[in-house]
Amino acid sequence: MYNHRSTKQRRAILELFNRQEKHLAAEEVHQLVRFQLPKISLGTVYRNLEALSEQGDLQKTVFPDGKARFEGAKHEHHHHMVCLGCSNIVDISLCPVRPEMKDLLNAEEFEAVYHRFEVFGYCRDCREKKNRN
């Protein structure tokens, strides 16, 4: 279990996500936070991203390339479209959980904490590149 103390590293990472609308991998966070904290290590970034996602300040999603990406937890409930070619991620505001699913959860007396829905495929640019080759 991670502790909830506020360090300059955690504050810098959270400030970064308050300015970013993108989904960022740990390496990207490391590169961007180094402008503010030049001596921060990649390991410190990894540990803090895990701690911040565990305590609910960031949302962590692992995509098919095996890489975890993070985004600020302040965003409205949403899902993702993920390009398998370029790994671009587009947020989907439409939620596919239908009333029947909610009825099933209620019937089973199951309290859902969260759910995810990701659509994987190829963006227009990657399809065009593929068709040119």
The domain locations on the chain are 1-74, 76-133
Place of tokens 């959980």: 97
Separation of first and last alpha carbons in the chain: 49
Confidence category of residue 72, pLDDT binned at 50, 70, 90: confident
Please state the rounded mean pLDDT for residues 59-85. Answer: 84
DSSP string, 48-69: HHHHHHHTTSEEEEE-TTS-EE
Domains 1-74 and 76-133 share a fold: no
The pTM of the full predicted model, rounded to 2 decimals, is: 0.72
Return the CATH number of the domain spanning residue range 1-74: 1.10.10.10
Please state the rounded mean pLDDT for residues 56-82. Answer: 84
Structure token digits, residue 101: 């699913």
pLDDT tens digits, one per residue of 73-121: 766 788 889 898 888 888 888 888 888 988 999 999 998 877 888 899 9
Architecture category of domain 76-133 in CATH: 2-Layer Sandwich (3.30)
